[in-house]
């Protein structure tokens, strides 16, 4: 049956591309994906597949109960976009000013919708039940996965699988891990209060910009000097705001950044070291500060057996030329919450577009759409592998 399913997926490739390009033109940012959620729900209504809307927020879950007994497996796709201006010169360029699908979630949605259309044809022959889990708000913590899990929507599910179209990996390459796959991703904000003044009289001020610069430098020593070299972490300051004109010493400074980690113990170590460094530098410079740390998505840890099923499933997918286990990436993913609740695995489907070297979250980001059917076939192969294990 799987060979026929693969052929049906290939036959729907033009529609798959059409769906992806339509969604690409009408993106919506996290927690505001109202029209996209309606588009998804309407699609299932036309297929005659029952679905629930507003799951954990804007989530949509469609349920296809097979004609044969078996397990219940959720296949997940996210559908939010990013607040980025689309700079690509393509016919399907975003029509929403300042909003863009710059991470491939339009392709994830197209993949799952098309797979659902195919599997509806094979419903009576299908063992078990497929939950087509369309998740909102992956891009912005607290994300959509956590409230979906907390809603009880996957309590009855036996396993969860998902994929990310990975634009920095060649088409035909399947990547996953049997352990930690993606990093925990946190955010922090530091506000420094100094005492501004005339640029000609620094000795009469407490320069918040200089204090902030010292804090930035100090934070970089956490990874290089405070952590075991065999542990992995990232401390990045992405925003530094201070001062408004050339001859005025800054009164305040704001630093915003991210921390990435693989080991929860390291997360706590980084937080502790940040507090000591910020306090020490501000005290030494006679400045005040506030430090707010926001814990985001936990590390995404695949389940070994399910990850092995994904790697084995890739053997049966035409177009996959390489299957590999990879070291963890430092990007974050709220798919991690599903893995804390249920067995499953997440994997990358290579989608690098020739001539388009731009990474995820870039204004010129794009994917090779030939990856879409590969993703769909791998997901359904993993589904059947889990049913047969």
Say yes or no: 273 and 328 in one domain. no
Same domain, 145 and 234: no
Cβ atoms 192, 250 nearer than 8 A: no
pLDDT single digits (tens) 271-295: 999 999 999 999 999 999 999 999 9
The whole-chain average pLDDT of the chain stands at: 98
Decide: helix, strand or coil at residue 292: strand
Q: Which of 297, 313, 336 is the last residue of a domain?
A: 297
pLDDT at residue 14, as a whole number: 98
Annotated catalytic residue: which of 28, 33, 80, 366?
Answer: 80
Count: domains in the chain: 2
Binding-site residues for Mn(2+), in ranges, read 103, 105, 139, 164, 361
- Please spell the DSSP secondary structure of 286-351, one letter per residue: T-EEEEEEEEEEPPEE--HHHHHHHHHHGGG-TT--EEEE-PPBS---TTHHHHHHS-EEEEEEE-
For residue 179, what pLDDT is reported? 98
- pLDDT tens across 221-242, in order? 999 999 999 999 999 999 999 9
pLDDT of residue 40: 99
- Give the model's pLDDT for residue 25: 98
- Output the pTM of the full model: 0.96
Is 52 in the same domain as 155? yes
Q: Say if residue 70 is in the same domain as residue 118.
A: yes
Distance of CA 196 to the CA centre of its chain: 41
**Alpha carbon distance 42, 168 (integer Å):** 33
- Rounded Cα distance between 236 and 220, Å, is 8
- Other residues' Cβ atoms within 10 Å of the Cβ of residue 60: 26
Query: pLDDT category, 264, cuts 50, 70, 90?
Result: very high
Output b/e per residue, 68-93; b: 16+ Cβ within 10 A: eebebbbbbbbbbbbebebebeeebe
Instruction: Specify whether 33 is catalytic.
Output: no
Taking the C-alpha atoms of residue 162 and residue 132, their distance in angstroms, rounded to an integer, is 10
Annotated catalytic residue: which of 86, 106, 131, 138? Answer: 138
Domain of residue 126: give its range: 2-182+299-388
Last residue of a domain, one of 265, 297, 329: 297
Of 266, 297, 328, the position where a domain reaches its end is 297
pLDDT in tens, 41-100: 999 999 999 999 999 999 999 999 999 999 999 999 999 999 999 999 999 999 999 999
Given a contact cutoff of 8 angstroms between Cβ atoms, the answer to whether 354 and 172 are in contact is: no
Asked if residue 25 and residue 136 are part of one domain, the reply reads yes
Q: Which residues of 122-141 are buried (b: 16+ CB within 10 A; e: fewer)?
A: beeebebbbbbbbbbbbbbb
CATH code (residue 202): 3.30.70.360
State yes or no: is 80 an active-site residue: yes
Residues 236 and 151 grouped into a single domain: no
pLDDT of residue 228: 97
């Amino acid at each position: 049956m799987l060979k026929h399913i693969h052929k049906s997926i290939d036959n729907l490739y033009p529609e798959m591309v059409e769906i992806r390009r339509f969604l690409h033109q009408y993106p919506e940012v996290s927690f505001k994906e109202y029209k996209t959620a309606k588009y998804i729900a309407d699609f299932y209504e036309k297929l005659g597949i029952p679905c629930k809307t507003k799951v954990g927020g804007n989530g949509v879950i469609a349920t296809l109960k097979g004609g044969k007994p078996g397990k219940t497996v959720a296949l997940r796709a996210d559908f939010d976009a990013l607040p980025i201006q689309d700079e690509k010169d393509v016919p399907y360029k975003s029509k929403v000013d300042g909003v863009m699908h710059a991470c491939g979630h339009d392709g994830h949605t197209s993949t799952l919708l098309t797979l659902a259309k195919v599997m509806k044809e094979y419903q009576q022959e299908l063992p078990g039940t497929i939950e087509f889990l369309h998740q909102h708000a992956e891009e912005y913590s607290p994300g959509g996965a956590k409230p979906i899990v907390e809603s009880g929507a996957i309590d009855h599910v036996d396993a969860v699988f998902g994929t990310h179209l990975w634009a920095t990996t060649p088409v035909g390459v399947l990547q996953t891990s049997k352990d930690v796959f993606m990093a925990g991703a946190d955010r922090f904000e530091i506000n420094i209060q100094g005492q501004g003044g005339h640029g000609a009289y620094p000795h009469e001020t407490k320069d918040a910009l200089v204090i902030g610069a010292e804090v930035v430098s100090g934070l970089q020593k956490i990874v290089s000097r405070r952590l075991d070299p065999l542990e992995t972490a990232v401390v990045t300051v992405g925003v530094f705001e201070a001062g408004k004109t050339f001859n005025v010493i800054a009164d305040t400074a704001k630093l915003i950044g991210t921390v990435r980690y693989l080991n929860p113990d390291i997360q706590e170590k980084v937080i502790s070291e940040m507090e000591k460094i910020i306090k020490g530098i501000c005290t030494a410079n006679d400045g005040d500060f506030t430090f707010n740390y926001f814990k985001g998505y936990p590390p995404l840890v695949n389940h070994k057996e399910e990850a092995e099923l994904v790697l084995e499933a890739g053997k049966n997918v035409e177009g996959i030329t390489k299957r590999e286990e990879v070291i963890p990436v430092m990007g974050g993913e709220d798919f991690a919450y599903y893995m804390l609740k249920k067995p499953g695995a997440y994997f990358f489907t290579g989608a690098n577009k020739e001539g388009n070297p731009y990474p995820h979250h870039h204004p010129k980001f794009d994917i090779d759409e030939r990856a879409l059917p590969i993703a769909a076939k791998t997901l359904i192969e993993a589904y059947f592998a889990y049913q047969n294990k």
